[in-house]
Amino acid sequence: AQKITQTQPGMFVQEKEAVTLDCTYDTSDPSYGLFWYKQPSSGEMIFLIYQGSYDQQNATEGRYSLNFQKARKSANLVISASQLGDSAMYFCAMRPYNTGNQFYFGTGTSLTVIP
């Protein structure tokens, strides 16, 4: 079975501080991709960052980095130097490459950046 778990329904962070959003996953597929999306209050889903299961290095995209711990099956998103515009829902997703092509999404974490 494929599953994505985000255990933090809501998080608060002070502006300019770093924050980590947790994501764990479960899959029997040895090859998969991990994704993070941001959904502001306007509703659009914005792709942030991707990590492949065989990538040796943790992915980084500007202020976003993915803390990938394969043995623990975790793919936490780290946002550095938080900005007010980072306030949004954040969804972790996984796509197993050999068992269908569905993207599995977590239930999301609501992040609020406090000025």
Partner 1 sequence: GAGVSQSPSNKVTEKGKDVELRCDPISGHTALYWYRQSLGQGLEFLIYFQGNSAPDKSGLPSDRFSAERTGGSVSTLTIQRTQQEDSAVYLCASSLGPQGANVLTFGAGSRLTVL
Q: Which of 31, 50, 29 is nearest to 93 (CA)?
A: 50
Tokens matching residue 18: 């770093």
Contact 88, 5 (CB under 8 A): no
Question: Should residue 106 be labelled a site residue for partner 1 when binding is judged by CB under 8 A?
Answer: yes
Q: Which is nearer to partner 1, 45 or 114 (CB)?
A: 45
Residues whose CB is less than 8 angstroms from the CB of residue 4 and which lie 6 or more positions away in sequence, other chains included:
23, 24, 25, 26, 92, 93, 94, 104, 105, 106
How many residues lie near partner 1 (CB under 8 A)?
21
- In the list 47, 61, 81, 114, the residue contacting partner 1 (rule: CB under 8 A) is 47
How many residues does the structure list for the chain?
A: 115
Q: Which is nearer to partner 1, 14 or 28 (CB)?
A: 28
Q: Which is nearer to partner 1, 86 or 91 (CB)?
A: 91
* Nearest distance from C-beta of residue 109 to partner 1, angstroms: 10
Instruction: Tell me how far apart the alpha carbons of residues 75 and 61 are, in angstroms, rounded to a whole number.
Output: 15
> In the stretch 56-95, what mask flags binding to partner 1 with x, by CB under 8 A?
-----------------------------------x-x--
Binding interface with partner 1 (CB under 8 A): 33, 35, 37, 43-45, 47, 50, 52, 91, 93, 97, 100-108
